[in-house]
Amino acid sequence: MPKIDLQKAALTSFTAFTLATNAISLPAEAAAPTPFFESSSTMVAEKVTRSGLYQDYEVDLVQQVDDSRSTFKEAKETKSKKGKYTALLAILVMGSFIIPMAQYFWYVRDDDSSDRFFGQAPEPEPEPPKKKGWFN
């Protein structure tokens, strides 16, 4: 017979009950509908409610979001300005490497710590300890 922890079972049941009641109940402000003149949204197109497989959804009868016209520039115009944008991109990429290096060298120009470090004479290695023999 498995051992059942009643305190743990009661706590689990209470938690499940609390979550279930919170999911079902609506907050007071969500239950009351807002009058149309107090809402902040504006109506752009007429909306129609259609039923779907899982729920009802709203559809705009006049769609003003998607436009199928081609708004790209002509190939001739794009090709004529390609060199200008290539040069601009090259300047920005080179600047992103050169400017930080110049800034670093500007900050360390008066620092002589590397000269002192590399100018040091190497430390001599210590003599190994003498081995003790029978009579030492």
Tens-digit pLDDT profile for residues 76-117: 888 888 899 999 999 999 999 999 999 998 888 888 887 788
Could you list the residue range(s) of the whole structural domain that residue 85 is in?
81-109
Assess if residue 104 is contained within a domain. yes
Assess if residue 88 is contained within a domain. yes
What is the domain count for the chain?
1
Whether 44 contacts 63, CB under 8 Å: no
| Averaged confidence pLDDT in the chain | 79
Assess if residue 116 is contained within a domain. no
> Which pLDDT score, from 0 to 100, does residue 91 have?
95
Phi, psi of 54 (to 5 degrees): -110, -30
- Token digits for 128? 């190994």
CA atoms of 17 and 14, how far apart (whole Å) = 5
Cα 57 to the center of its chain, rounded Å: 31
